[in-house]
A = this chain, B = another copy of it.
């Protein structure tokens, strides 16, 4: 029945869209022509059909269970990526003449802050740029404004590879958790909004999970365009317009996989800590050769970033890695160097193969 392409799969260290669990891809493949009991592909079913209702409910419930999200929060599935949330958050949460506070720890929080500052009177209360975004602030490093409607942060900066080890102190936290969502526990109850585009740990590109404290809905300014008003999506149960049904379906399958494979976010966190330790250990043992970007305390468990003292090694490293089926290790085009993104679905074997290669490469060239 199937002419499945049988090319060997590589270890894909892409920062996103990124590697997905193989059992999830296999289920997507096997159900592609007919969702069981439905007689149509998941790509073909109405967003108002009972089959999709079930997918949407399961995906919502999967998030609710894993993060223990209580009923004070709505869970939405939106489009337009984090970029659209950069605008929707201030448009919805900051009434005219008011402001919010932003912690800027890398490229993504910088872009989010820029959007908010453009639309409102918001303030950057801590900026890591002078130190090339190598760290995140600790309590006492910044002062929030009493009148600020929220304190914004990006839990993990994919480009620089710095990560908050816990949420910062502040009222009405808003978190862009795009690149570490589902990789560890998170206390949603400390937040006003948590959002995450799926294409790192949670699913394919095309959907953004938005977890929103319900009382915020009352203060949304009137007159926003329909799609940009959170209330439209809450009132319509994420079906104000046709949602990205396939991306929600795959996200649901990834949530099932996390539950079955790891049981809890605590367990997947431990797994991710073990994985990144394999790479940071090599970096620390060859610290004259591999120059890590983040300060040790704030290292990302998702995106391991480093450089060589001599840039000539960049290309050689990537070429030799690719020969071992270790792919997409280039740093973001804005910073260069090397970046290994090791999200939930990257198997230990892939990280170990990379660690072994790094050891060998350092011995040969260091």
Question: With an 8 A cutoff between CB atoms, is A336 at the interface?
Answer: no
Question: With an 8 A cutoff between CB atoms, is A155 at the interface?
Answer: no
Provided the pairs A32-B32, A34-B6 are in contact, do residues A12 and B44 lie with their beta carbons within 8 angstroms?
yes
**CB-based contact B7/A37 at 8 Å:** yes
Provided the pairs A205-B243, A246-B205 are in contact, do residues A2 and B2 lie with their beta carbons within 8 angstroms?
yes
- For window 218-250 of chain A, which residues contact chain B by CB distance below 8 Å? 223, 225-228, 240-247, 250
A305 to B291, alpha carbons, bound, how many Å?
66
**CB-based contact B10/A40 at 8 Å:** yes
Interface-forming stretch among A74-82, A280-288, A355-363? Answer: A74-82
A325 to B39, alpha carbons, bound, how many Å?
9
- For window 35-58 of chain A, which residues contact chain B by CB distance below 8 Å? 35-41, 43-49
**CB-based contact A9/B33 at 8 Å:** yes
A118 to B229, alpha carbons, bound, how many Å?
14
Interface-forming stretch among A18-26, A257-265, A268-276, A309-317? Answer: A18-26
Question: With an 8 A cutoff between CB atoms, is A199 at the interface?
Answer: yes
Chain B residue contacts of A115, Cβ below 8 A: 225-226
When C-beta atoms are compared, the residue in chain B nearest to A199 turns out to be B242
Question: With an 8 A cutoff between CB atoms, is A320 at the interface?
Answer: no
**CB-based contact B2/A36 at 8 Å:** no
**CB-based contact A80/B7 at 8 Å:** no
A79 to B208, alpha carbons, bound, how many Å?
11
**CB-based contact A34/B20 at 8 Å:** no
Chain B residue contacts of A297, Cβ below 8 A: none
Chain B residue contacts of A40, Cβ below 8 A: 9-10, 12, 14, 19, 327
